[in-house]
Structure 1
Amino acid sequence: MKIRVVSSRDEILSLNPNEKIIHLAFRPSNKDIFLLVETCPKLEIVQLPNSYQRTISRSMQMFLEMQKIQLLEGDVWGHRKDINEYYTVPSSVMSKIRNMKLEGVPNDRIAEKMCKESKLNQKMIIHILNKKPLEL
């Protein structure tokens, strides 16, 4: 699974319209989020660092909710944007999630355990778990 990392508002217009998960590494304004949703109509998740998420207005949160776009807190630890514009969830993490799901471990337990191991947000792990099996 890939997460597109956007480090400045100037990059928004150059995004692929098929992007589904985006991590904003800058403090977005309402205008930036509107532009992001317009540029990427298939967007499912916008991830922001905790400190930036607290500054998102309630009206913008409601707008994203109405568009069925999840606003998640989280970071892309150790990612270097100068090397690759995507953060890829390691295949080992995806395998562990897949195996635990096949073993019948409840989603909340998987999310709790993998959150500690992978540094991914629990809601991001729940999103991965709810995807079609072929995409895992």
Structure 2
Amino acid sequence: MRIRVVSSKEEINSLGRCEKIVHLAFRPANKDIFTLVRSCPDLKAIHIPSSYIRTVSNSTKMFLDMQGIALLEGDVWGHRKDINEYSEIRPEVLDRIQEFKAEGLSEPDMLGRLGRETRLSRDLLKFLLKEKAK
């Protein structure tokens, strides 16, 4: 699974229509989020760093909820945008989710173990669990 990393608001208009998960590495204004949703009709989630997510307005959160788009808190650790515009979630992470489900682990236990193993944010892991359940 790939997460498109966007470093500036100018990049939003250059995104492909098929992007599913986008990480905003800048402090987005409401207008930037609305533009992103319009540019990417297949968008399932917007991933924003913890320090920036607090500035997203309640009306924007409500809009995203009505659109069925998850707002995820977290960062993409160790990613270098100059090398690749996408951050990859390794297939092994999705395999581990399947293994934990087969073992009958509860969601909090899965989130704890996956968080330690992958260093992915808790919100992103919750999103992946829901996506794998579909």
Q: TM-score, normalised to structure 2's length? A: 0.92
The farther-off stretch of 119-128 and 51-60 is: 119-128
- Residue 122 of structure 1 is matched in structure 2 by 122
| Secondary structure of the structure 2 residue equivalent to 1:16 | coil
**Separation in 2, partners of 1:106, 1:81:** 35
- Residue 81 of structure 1 is matched in structure 2 by 81
Give 5+ residue unaligned stretches, structure 2. none
- Aligned pair 1:97/2:130, yes or no? no
Tell whether the 8 Å contact from 1:108 to 1:126 is kept in structure 2 after alignment: no
Identity of aligned residues (%): 51
Q: CA RMSD in A?
A: 1.6
- Residue 56 of structure 1 is matched in structure 2 by 56
- Residue 2 of structure 1 is matched in structure 2 by 2
Give 5+ residue unaligned stretches, structure 1. none
The farther-off stretch of 47-56 and 92-101 is: 92-101
Count of residues paired in the alignment: 134
| Secondary structure of the structure 2 residue equivalent to 1:38 | helix
Q: TM-score, normalised to structure 1's length? A: 0.90
Q: How does 1:100-111 map to 2 (within 5 A)?
A: 100-111=100-111
- Residue 18 of structure 1 is matched in structure 2 by 18
- Residue 72 of structure 1 is matched in structure 2 by 72
